[in-house]
Amino acid sequence: MFSALLATVAALSLVSSSSAVETRSVADPTPGKLRNVVENSGVCETTPGVYQASGYGDIASDGSIWFWFFEARHNPDTAPLTVWLQGEGGTSSMVGLLTENGPCRLNGDQTSVSPNPYSFNEVSNVLYIDQPVGVGFSYGSRNVTTTQGAAADVWEFLQIFFAHSRFAKFQKNDFGLWSERYGGVFVSTFASYFLDQNDAIDKGTVSGIKVNVKNIGLGGPYMDPLVQLPYYLDYAVGNPYAQLVSASTILAKARLWFADDNSGVQNCYADDGSNNIVCWDAQLAADQDYYRTLSGSFSPFHVNSNQTDLSTTPFLSDAALRQQIGALSDYTEDNIFVSYGWATAGAFIRNSRPILEGLINKGVLVGMWSGDADFNGNYMMTEVLAASLNTDATINFYFTPFSPYKVSGEQVGQFKQLGPFAYVRFTGAGHNLGDFSSGSLGKGQAALQFFNQTIHGQTISK
Ligand SMILES: *[C@@H]1O[C@H](CO)[C@@H](O)[C@H](O)[C@H]1NC(C)=O
Ligand SMILES: *[C@@H]1O[C@H](CO)[C@@H](O)[C@H](O)[C@H]1NC(C)=O
Ligand SMILES: *[C@@H]1O[C@H](CO)[C@@H](O)[C@H](O)[C@H]1NC(C)=O
C-alpha cells in the first residue's frame, strides 16, 4: 500500500544511522499527500491483528501534519472515527495517546509503555493529530494563531487522509472530535467549520470530502472566560478537598477580578476580532495576576493528590523509536512559541460559547465532563458554562437534578443528560480523566464507558 513511502523510510534509515543530524530535510513535503507513513510499526498497539499507521499529511509545502491512527479493536469498518486533540494550544496529542486514552500507557520510567485495556480504540477508530504545525512531530514554517486557521489546516489534513485508498472507507463512519480545557474551543470550532464546509460542498462552492461530524467531547472546557473565570475563586474555597489558598488571597483576587481584570475581558468580548492587543492584555491579567495564583501550592490538575503527570518527551525523543514510527522531526511536547502566538493573538480570552450552542442546535452529540479534583478545568466553571448554554436542549441544566453515574455497578460520579447533551462530574478525578481509576475499576475504564456512550448516542443512565 505504502511501498513508495516505505522506500523513503528505508532511505531515511540509512541516513540517520550514519549521523545524528535532523532527518527532516531528507524527504521534501508532497502537498496534498500522505508521506512517510509506517504501517503496523508494532509500537503502542500490540493487540494482534489491530491495524495502525503513523506519518504525515502534507497540507502545504510549509506544513506537515503528524498523525497516528489506530483502528478499532473490534469492527473497525463500522465503528466511529474519533480525532483526539490535546487541549492547551501548543501541546502534542501524543500526551493523550500515551497517558490518557491510547492503546498503550506510558510507564513511570517515562521510556516504556504497557498495553491499555481501556483505550478509546476498544470502541472507535482513533486518529491522534498534532496541530497546529510546530507542535509534537508536526513541522513546517507555517504559523497558525487562530482556531479558525487551525480548523482549516486540520480539515485539509482530513481531506488528504480520507482521500487515500487505505482510509477512504472511514468517510462514511460517524466522526467525532474530543479534547480538554481550551480544546473545548478546538473541537467546537473545528466541528462547526467542518459542517460549514459540508454545506459548501453540497452547494458546489467548495470541492472536497464531507466530514461526517456527529459528536464532540469536552473535558473541563474553557470557552467563555467572562462567565467562567470567577469560578476559580469559588473552587479555591469551595472544592470538596481543601481550601487552596488563604482567605486573604481569595479576597484580594476577588477584588482584583471584579474591580479591574474583568473589564479587560469585556473589552475583548466587545472587540470584533481585529484588536488582538486588547485580548492579549486581558489574557495576561487573568493569567498571571489572577487565576494561576489561586491553586496555591496544590497541583492545579489534581488537588486531591498533587501527583505530577508524566512527560512524553523521554519516550518520543528516542531516535530509534522515532524512526520506527516514521517521525521526521524532533518531538516538542509543548511548543511555547505556538502557545505564545495564540496568546498574543488573543485566542485564549475570546468567547466561543456561541459556537458550541450552534452545534447543540444542530443535534451534534455533546459529551462534557469534569473531574472534581481538577482546578484548571474545574467542575464549577464547567457547570456554569453548561448552565449558560442558550439552547432549547440545555436551558434547564441547573434545574435538572444529578443522577448517580455508575460503571460496572460502582458509582464514579454524577450526571445530567438533556437531549443531545450529557455531562458527568467524576468524583476524585483530576484533569486527566483517562488516568482516573476508582474502587475496583481500572485506569481509564470510566472514561471509556462515557466515551462509548456519547459516540453511540446512548443514554448514559446505568
Ligand atoms: C497537596 O499540597 C498541599 C499544599 O502543599 C498540601 O497542603 C496537601 O496536603 C497536599 N495533598 C496531598 C494529598 O498530598
Ligand atoms: C507567528 O505570528 C504571530 C502573530 O502574527 C507573531 O507574533 C509571531 O512572531 C509569529 N511566530 C513565528 C514563529 O513566526
Ligand atoms: C460500547 O457500546 C456498545 C453499544 O453501542 C456496547 O455493545 C459495548 O459493550 C460498549 N463497550 C464498552 C467497552 O463499553
Residue 380: per-residue pLDDT: 98
What ligand is nearest to the CA atom of residue 408? Answer: 3
- Which residue has a Cα nearest atom 2 of ligand 1? 298
Q: How far is CA 67 from CA 34, 213, 237, in A?
A: 10, 19, 41
Residue 292: per-residue pLDDT: 87
**Which residue is associated with the grid cell 522515532?**
322
User: Helix axis angle, 231-238 relative to 247-256, nearest 10°?
Assistant: 170
pLDDT by residue for the chain (462 residues), tens only, comes to 333 333 333 333 333 333 333 334 457 899 999 999 999 999 999 999 999 999 999 999 999 999 999 999 999 999 999 999 999 889 999 999 999 999 999 999 999 999 999 999 999 999 999 999 999 999 999 999 889 999 999 999 999 999 999 999 999 999 999 999 999 999 999 999 999 999 999 999 999 999 999 999 999 999 999 999 999 999 999 999 999 999 999 999 999 998 887 999 999 999 877 788 999 999 988 887 788 899 999 999 999 999 989 999 999 999 999 999 999 999 999 999 999 988 888 889 999 999 999 999 999 999 999 999 999 999 999 999 999 999 999 999 999 999 999 999 999 999 999 999 999 999 999 999 999 999 999 999 999 999 999 999 988 765
Q: What is the 113 CA–ligand 1 centroid distance (Å)?
A: 29
CB 223, CB 351: distance < 8 Å: yes
What ligand is nearest to the CA atom of residue 62? Answer: 2
* Distance of alpha carbon 230 from alpha carbon 220, whole angstroms: 15
- Which residue has a Cα nearest atom 8 of ligand 1? 298
- pLDDT tens digit sequence for 359-369: 999 999 999 99
Grid coordinates in use for 207?
470541492
Task: Return the HEC string of the chain.
Answer: CCHHHHHHHHHHHHHHHHCCCCCCCCCCCCCCCEEEEEECCCCCCCCCCCCEEEEEEEEECCEEEEEEEECCCCCCCCCCEEEECCCCCCECCHHHHHHHHCCEEECCCCCCEEECCCCHHHCCEEEEECCCCCCECCECCCCCCCHHHHHHHHHHHHHHHHHCCCCHHHCCCCEEEEEECCHHHHHHHHHHHHHHHHHHHHHCCCCCCCCCEEEEEEECCCCCHHHHCCHHHHHHHHCCCCCCCCHHHHHHHHHHHHHHHHHHHHHHHHCCCCCHHHHHHHHHHHHHHHHHHHHCCCCCCCCCCCCCCCCCHHHHCCHHHHHHHCCCCCCECECHHHHHHHHHCCHHHCCCHHHHHHHHHCCCEEEEEEECCCCCCCHHHHHHHHHHCCCCCCCCCCCCCCEEEEECCEEEEEEEEECCEEEEEECCCCCCHHHCCCCCCCCCHHHHHHHHHHHCCCCCCC
Q: What is the 80 CA–ligand 1 centroid distance (Å)?
A: 41
Residues forming a β-bridge with 82: 126, 176
- Return phi, psi of residue 408, to 5°: 50, 40
Q: Is 248 in the pocket of ligand 1 (CB under 6 A)?
A: no
User: Helix axis angle, 336-344 relative to 276-284, nearest 10°?
Assistant: 120
Kindly report the pTM of this predicted structure. Answer: 0.93
- Ligand 2 pocket test target in 143, 283, 344 with most atoms within 8 Å of CB: 143
* Distance of alpha carbon 421 from alpha carbon 218, whole angstroms: 11
Other C-beta atoms within 10 Å of 83: how many? 28
Of 218, 369, 371, 247, the closest CA to residue 307 belongs to: 371
Work out whether strand 81-84 and strand 125-129 pair parallel, antiparallel, or are unpaired. parallel
Grid coordinates in use for 57?
499529511
Residue 26: per-residue pLDDT: 52
Q: Look up residue 152 and give its amino acid.
A: A
* Distance of alpha carbon 59 from alpha carbon 40, whole angstroms: 23
- Ligand 3 pocket test target in 452, 454, 459 with most atoms within 8 Å of CB: 452
- Which residue has a Cα nearest atom 5 of ligand 1? 297
Q: Is 456 in the pocket of ligand 3 (CB under 6 A)?
A: yes
* Distance of alpha carbon 459 from alpha carbon 25, whole angstroms: 50
**Which residue is associated with the grid cell 506537515?**
64
Residues forming a β-bridge with 431: none
Q: Which residues contact 327 (CB under 8 A, 6 or more apart)?
A: 54, 66, 137, 316
- Which residue has a Cα nearest atom 3 of ligand 1? 298
* Residue 431, CB-side half-sphere exposure with 13 Å CA sphere: 25
Q: What is the 348 CA–ligand 3 centroid distance (Å)?
A: 36
Q: Is 337 in the pocket of ligand 2 (CB under 6 A)?
A: yes
CB 98, CB 315: distance < 8 Å: yes
- Ligand 3 pocket test target in 119, 123, 451, 454 with most atoms within 8 Å of CB: 123
* Distance of alpha carbon 20 from alpha carbon 22, whole angstroms: 7
